[in-house]
Each structure stands twice: as C-alpha cells, then as structure tokens.
Amino acid sequence: MKQFDIPTTYRSSFISTIKKSRKETDPRKKDFTPTLLDFGPVQFLIARHFGFCFGVENAIEIAYKAVEENPGKRIYLLSQMIHNPSVNADLRAMGIQFIMDTQGNQFVEWKELTKDDIVIIPAFGTTLEIEAILNGIGIEIQKYNTTCPFVTKVWKQSEKLGKEDYTIIIHGKHKHEETRATFSHSSEFSPSIVVKDMEEAKKLGEFIEGNMSVEGFHQIFKGNFSKGFNPEKDLFRVGVVNQTTMLASDTQAIADYFKEVMIQLHGTENIDTHFADTRDTLCYATNDNQQATFGLLKKDADLAIVVGGFNSSNTSHLVELCEEKLPTYFISSDEELLNASKVRHFNFHEKQMLMTKNFLPEKNPVRIILTSGASCPDAVVDGVMDKLLSFYPGHKSKEQVLSEMEIS
C-alpha cells in the first residue's frame, strides 16, 4: 500500500511499532484480537485497527502539498478536511481558510473567490452543485481534490444502479458532508432518497407496502429525496448504498429489510427485478475498525476510551459499540483527562459535554480499552495513553513493555 508523506507530528513511534508488529504477524488482517499492553498497575487493550486510514492520509498529504506549491496564493478548504480538531487547527495555522462549516453554512461567500485562488475539496467529497460554482469561477478543482476513493466508489455504484433504472436508497446522516455529496451525485443518475436508520427505513417500507399516503411520505421525508421524486412510481426498483462511515451491520440490516419488503410484494422469483443486491459500500478502514472493536469487546475490561473528533461519524459508531458493554468515554485529546478522578467527555447522542468523576476504578490492575476513529492521529492516542499512565506512579516504561512483548 502507498506510503503517504504526512507530518511526523501525527505519528507515534510507539504505536507504529505495535501496528507494524501486528501487520507482520497478520498480513491478511484475519486476526481482530486486540493487543494487550501491560504497564503493571494499568493495562491497555489496543484495537487491531485504528487511526488514520488511506483516505485521511491521502487528504492530508494533498493539503500540505497545496500549501507548499502555492506560496503567496489564497488557499481555501470547502469545509473541514477531516473530522479531527487537531488536524483542522493545523491547516488553519498554515493559512488555509475554510469556506463553510460541516453543516454547509458559509464563512466565505462564493463572490469573494477568484480564478487564481486554490480550493481543496475535502475527503468527504462535494456536491455537483458546488463543483459547478467553482468551475464557473474558473477555479481548477481536480488538482487538489482529496475525495476518498471509497466515497468515489459509492458514487460509481450509484451511477451503475441509476443506469439500470433502480432508485437509490442512501443509508446516511442527512446533514453529513459525505451524504450530501453522495446524494448530489446519485441524484444525477437516479431518483434518490436518504434514510438515516432502520426506523426511517421502516417508514419508507410502509409506503412501499401501501400503508402510508403520499402526503405522509412527503411529511416524513421532506428535504431528503431528489427533485422530481415520485414515490408512487420510483420505489418499484430499489438499491441500497451508504455513507461509508456508517455501521456495517446497520447498512446490511436496512438492505435486508428492503429486500424482504420486495419479496413480500413481488415474490422471491422476481426479486432481481425489484431489488439490487449490491455489495456493501462501506470503506475497508471503517469495516476494519468496527471489526477490531468487536474483537476488543470480546475481552474483559473496566472501561473504554475512544479518541476522535466529536463530529466524526465513524468514531461515534465505535463509541456506540463500546458503550453497549462497558463505561465509555468519548474524548478528542488528553486535555479532557483532567486528573485521575475527572474526565470531560462528549455524549454524541445528546450533543453535549459531560463531566464524570471517579471514572477510573480503584483496583489493580485497571484494564482500559483504548481506540480511535479513522481521522485521529496516532500521536493524539499516544498522548492520551501517556496522560493515563501519569495517573499510575510506578508503571512500567513503554520500552520495557515492548521488550516484554518481544517487539522492538
């Protein structure tokens, strides 16, 4: 796999050593059991897969190259490069301006841009409408287009479905940049509609089965279907794609549900006419991270700490998996670990910060699950580990732990 040129400040020699060792012993990524790091009074279970993925490293490399190659020029990002606060702060410090926030609210008006400006398209991709605006200004958009190839893969799958006259059902979060981009691209080729979860999928199923009025459909899905969408004729043939960072099990369940609806209506013998049994469009890194989290949860632990940006979809799903089994704290950096008895963490369900006291149990050893999302630098995870270790005087050094594991 390609090695990307990204700042060394994002990497951790300690974590890189562990990842390299696991890769050498498991090159085909069949073993999702975690790595146990025994520091004496505290132990860490480290996920088999976590941290920067191909798409993220590619995006960071291109962004830094844009700055290097364009001294004196104004450089813009359409929105956050990735959903990680430290990376986005670094880009701002380099002079890159953000045109809009993650919700699409603009900081910089289009009329302020000129053909001489540099605009970087983030890893989530962008809509055809925004591409048209930039092309109209005369800005070259492909040179610094960091759209993740796995997002592009979803767009190609959508195009294929559209050309075969299937309506596209997108499993994604309505306001997420990637879903907005995928919706725009899929709508170019086919009627398209977004469902965020199984509850919305079942509402759509009710209409397909004839148990909901057109008025009810429009009320529930207003703003989430393509222009000219006719629910009475556009839901005869459907296929499912997804926002690449959704839970794979959720996407599969939604696809299975719509397949069953079509079987009930049209019979098993006619299913290919009404349902496109697409392969999952989840990206490999999201899938690996989720499988690695399931591997983590097979082991006994006292708590879990998940590190990443609070608006990171793939990270929030790792939190969701962990909190089903044990106390889980979603933090963005070591700064949220206030001391040995207090942690400030994010409740992504309620979108609010919480403060929890006595989050570390009084026992010896304490076992902590530690993982991160695909947009979180290993260096940030390393910093979290160091902060936690500081709460346990007399712990073994990292060098000793690696030596005892026969990793060097």
Mean pLDDT of 389-398: 97
User: Residue 277: its pLDDT value, please?
Assistant: 78
Mean pLDDT of 18-37: 92
Confidence of residue 45 (pLDDT cuts 50, 70, 90): very high
pLDDT exceeds cutoff 80 at 50: yes
Joined together, the tokens standing for residue 47 give: 């996920």
DSSP string, 207-272: HHTT-S-HHHHHHHHTTSB-TT--TTTTTSSEEEEE-TTS-HHHHHHHHHHHHHHHHHHH-GGGHH
Contact (CB, 8 A) for 376 and 52: yes
pLDDT exceeds cutoff 60 at 408: no
* Cα 13 from Cα 234, distance rounded (Å): 53
DSSP string, 175-205: T-HHHHHHHHHHHTTS-EEEE-SHHHHHHHH
Nearest Cα residue to 95 out of 126, 118, 111: 118
pLDDT digits (tens, 9 = 90+) for 279-333: 667 677 778 888 999 999 999 999 999 999 999 988 999 999 999 999 999 999 9
pLDDT exceeds cutoff 80 at 406: no
User: Residue 11: its pLDDT value, please?
Assistant: 94
Q: Which fold has domain 152-275?
A: Cobalt-precorrin-4 Transmethylase; domain 1 (3.40.1010)
pLDDT digits (tens, 9 = 90+) for 230-283: 999 999 999 999 999 898 889 999 999 999 999 999 999 999 999 997 766 767
What percentage of the chain's residues is helix, strand, coil (to nearest 5)?
40, 15, 40
Joined together, the tokens standing for residue 387 give: 């902060």
Looking at domain 54-137, its CATH architecture is 3-Layer(aba) Sandwich (3.40)
pLDDT exceeds cutoff 70 at 18: yes
DSSP class of 334:
G
Distance of CA 364 to the CA centre of its chain: 35
Q: Which amino acid is at 305?
A: I
Query: Which of 57, 131, 177, 178 does the annotation list as catalytic?
Result: 178
pLDDT digits (tens, 9 = 90+) for 65-81: 999 999 999 999 998 88
Q: Which fold has domain 8-53+284-404?
A: Cobalt-precorrin-4 Transmethylase; domain 1 (3.40.1010)
pLDDT exceeds cutoff 70 at 1: no
pLDDT exceeds cutoff 60 at 212: yes
Nearest Cα residue to 180 out of 250, 102, 84, 77: 102
User: Residue 280: its pLDDT value, please?
Assistant: 65
* Cα 135 from Cα 131, distance rounded (Å): 6
User: Residue 156: its pLDDT value, please?
Assistant: 95
Domain boundaries defined on the chain: 8-53+284-404, 54-137, 152-275
* Cα 142 from Cα 147, distance rounded (Å): 10
User: Residue 5: its pLDDT value, please?
Assistant: 87
Confidence of residue 4 (pLDDT cuts 50, 70, 90): confident
What's the number of CA atoms in the CB half-sphere (13 Å) around residue 93?
6
> Is residue 269 annotated as a catalytic residue, yes or no?
no
pLDDT digits (tens, 9 = 90+) for 294-305: 999 999 999 999
Joined together, the tokens standing for residue 210 give: 């004839």
Nearest Cα residue to 169 out of 70, 57, 253, 64: 253
pLDDT exceeds cutoff 80 at 395: yes
Opening angle at CA 93, ends 91 and 94, nearest 5: 65
Do the domains 8-53+284-404 and 152-275 sit in the same CATH topology, yes or no?
Answer: yes
DSSP string, 146-172: ---HHHHHHHHHHHHHHHTTPEEEEES
* Cα 79 from Cα 104, distance rounded (Å): 8
User: Residue 282: its pLDDT value, please?
Assistant: 66
* Cα 63 from Cα 275, distance rounded (Å): 40
Nearest Cα residue to 155 out of 145, 141, 168: 168
pLDDT exceeds cutoff 80 at 140: yes
Mean pLDDT of 203-222: 97
Distance of CA 162 to the CA centre of its chain: 25
* Cα 377 from Cα 308, distance rounded (Å): 9
DSSP class of 72:
T
* Cα 204 from Cα 208, distance rounded (Å): 6
Contact (CB, 8 A) for 211 and 243: no
Query: What share of the chain has pLDDT > 90, as a percent?
Result: 85
